[in-house]
Amino acid sequence: MAEKRGSPITRISFFCLFLTTTVMFVLTSRSRPAVFDPKSFPTEKLLTDFNNGGSQTSNQSNVESSDRSNRAIPVDNGREEGGFKLSCNGNLKEPLKIYMYDLDPEFHFGLLGWKPQGNQIWPDIRTTIPSYPGALNSQHSIEYWLTLDLLASEFSENPNTRQAIWVKNSSEADLIFVPFFSFLSYNRHSKVIPPSKKSKNTELQTKLVKFLRNQKEWKVSGGRNHVVLAHHPNSMLDARMQLWPAIFVLSDFGRYPINIANVEKDVIAPYKHLIKRYVNDSSDFDSRKTLLFFQGAIYRKDGGFARQELFYLLKDEKDVHFSFGSVQNNGIRKASEGMHSSKFCLNIAGDTPSSNRLFDAIASHCVPVIISDEIELPYEDILDYSEFCIFVRASDAMKKGFLINRIRSITKDKWTRMWETLKQVEPLFEFQYPSKEGDAIQMIWQSLAHKVPGVKMKINKSRRYGRFVPRTRRGLRITPAPKSF
């Protein structure tokens, strides 16, 4: 019997299909990722295309044209399907639903000196907004801004335009928000005042843990869907080991064991910058006379030894400013002036991997030079920091001549592209009330929204082996899973 073989046309067709697929794969793999990954952006269109269309900066004519200059902020490519508005990743476009515990004011605005009237839990922010202390206190103030934003959502004319809304029924919520102003508690009440044996900060944490563990929302979810704010490295020191299943909002993981806090479970949020924003920045490469700027504490413990080493390596370099500085003696004003007139600003690990200096540099449009091997950065799942930051390993930075030669090798064109990108991403790190589309508050809500599917999966898995109800005449029944979590 003759052997059956495919026709020549069939073989040629398969060969052409294979060749086409291979070429497309190679071309796709060679494309460079954008500053943002639009597919991972959850629900919101943000700002405008970077140099796409009519949105251009005054200095763009001086910038070398390249593909890199056409990437940064994603726009919403939503489409209508079945009567619903879809975001670019296909999710229904609706706000994150947050249930917020009505904690006693001593846990939140009472720490700011606000006095409730009668049984009042929250200030009426339509008439009174308790002020937050400035200077160094403000850098860890995310608890204040997020709580204000939730309160404001109750009075929003169009809630669906917001990233997060406050719901009064926990069974409707995606996440449970714990409104404890942990930094203020630590900052103002950590000292033990006799005859008390414990500080007020410790007492508040103890009361909070007891409260949470008695709530049905915590019991049902094991705390996995709770959001706990502990942005300062020393916040929640007494409670963190007991509340570890929750989602922590942190500045970094420097003082946490990996089983208590990690990038998979928790959210990294930016500091609120201290220096003055560079509004209407018309500077350029040549007008910023200082090449490299650092002003702050030089001698630090833990991982901050690199600061001291770099001080001795750089202190005699021309056009480098490396000096001690603090908030005293107009320190913030001097730092603002220095960063606004510098091309590059050093962000070196101190007592912990992160510092507010990175966000001061972004607000100044001074290209950050990050020397912190263990740093985790806000929104890095959708934001490519390499487009506007320089990263140098600590071991390399402390080699004589390495860092300064690396900085001097960056061309005017490359610096200008990074400077342009800094101006585009700056709003993503801005805290304000009322919150605006694409600012730090909305970005933090979006980062929390990214955690929701994983949280729900863990909760659902925990229900696999629920208790069986005793046999009845109609057969076996399984106790239904609670609706709230």
Per-residue pLDDT tens digits for 83-138 = 323 333 334 468 999 999 999 999 999 999 999 999 999 999 999 999 999 888 99
Order of strands across the sheet with 342-348? Answer: 320-324, 290-296, 342-348, 367-371, 390-391
Please check whether residues 414 and 383 belong to one and the same domain. Answer: yes
Paired residues of 370 in beta bridges: 347, 391
Please count the other Cβ atoms lying within 10 Å of the Cβ belonging to residue 12. 11
Predicted local distance difference test score (pLDDT) of residue 22: 59
* Residue 284 placed within a domain: no
Tell which of 384, 413, 429 closes a domain.
429
Pair 101, 134 in one domain = yes
Do residues 194 and 231 share a domain? yes
The per-residue pLDDT for 305 is: 78
**Between vectors from CA 239 to CA 238 and to CA 244, what angle results, nearest 5°?**
135
Domain-embedded: residue 484: no
Distance CA(449)–CA(175), nearest Å, equals 9
Rounded CA separation 196/187 (Å) = 18
Query: Does 410 reside within a domain?
Result: yes
pLDDT at residue number 53: 37
Convert the pLDDT of each residue in 167-212 to its tens digit.
Answer: 999 999 999 999 999 999 999 999 999 999 999 999 999 999 999 9
- Cα 1 to chain center, whole Å? 71
Structural domain contains residue 327: yes
Question: What mean pLDDT, rounded, does the chain reach?
Answer: 83
pLDDT score recorded for residue 178? 98
Burial class of residue 271 in the structure, from the number of CB atoms within 10 Å of its CB (0-12 exposed, 13-18 middle, 19+ buried): buried
Answer yes or no: do 241 and 259 share one domain: yes
Q: What is the pLDDT of residue 325?
A: 66
pLDDT for residue 52: 37
Which residues make Cβ contacts (< 8 Å) with residue 111, sequence separation at least 6?
A: 181, 184, 185, 188, 189
Could you list the pLDDT tens digit for every one of the 485 residues in the chain? Answer: 444 445 555 555 555 566 665 555 545 444 445 565 444 444 433 333 333 333 333 343 333 333 333 334 443 434 333 332 333 333 446 899 999 999 999 999 999 999 999 999 999 999 999 999 988 899 999 999 999 999 999 998 877 779 999 999 999 999 999 999 999 999 999 999 999 999 999 999 999 999 999 999 999 999 999 999 999 999 999 999 999 999 999 999 999 999 999 999 999 999 999 999 999 999 999 999 999 999 988 876 655 678 889 999 998 999 999 988 666 677 788 999 999 999 999 999 988 999 999 999 999 999 999 999 999 999 999 999 999 999 999 999 999 999 999 999 999 999 999 999 999 999 999 999 999 999 999 999 999 999 999 999 999 999 898 755 555 444 433 334 334 33
Amino acid at 361: A
Q: For residue 134, what pLDDT is reported?
A: 87
Residues 315, 292: Cα–Cα separation, whole Å: 11
Do 249 and 341 lie in one domain? The reply is no
295 with 410, same domain?
yes
Q: What is the pTM of this model?
A: 0.79
Q: Are strands 96-100 and 390-391 parallel, antiparallel or unpaired?
A: unpaired
Q: What is the pLDDT of residue 191?
A: 96
In a domain, 60, yes or no: no
Strands 84-86 vs 79-81: parallel, antiparallel or unpaired: antiparallel
439/422 same-domain check: no
The CATH number of the domain holding residue 310 is: 3.40.50.2000
The reply to whether 298 and 393 lie within a common domain is yes
Same domain? For 239 and 127 the reply is yes
pLDDT score, position 77: 39
The verdict on residue 6 lying in a domain is no
Q: Containing domain of residue 220, as a range?
A: 96-272+435-464
Q: Which pLDDT does position 54 carry in this prediction?
A: 39
In a domain, 334, yes or no: yes
pLDDT of residue 34: 58
- State whether 351 and 203 are in the same domain: no
Domain check: are 199 and 250 in the same one?
A: yes
Q: How many domains does the chain have?
A: 2
Q: What is the pLDDT of residue 471?
A: 54
Predicted pLDDT at 91: 43
* In-domain check, residue 414: yes
Q: Looking at the structure, do residues 201 and 294 belong to the same domain, yes or no?
A: no
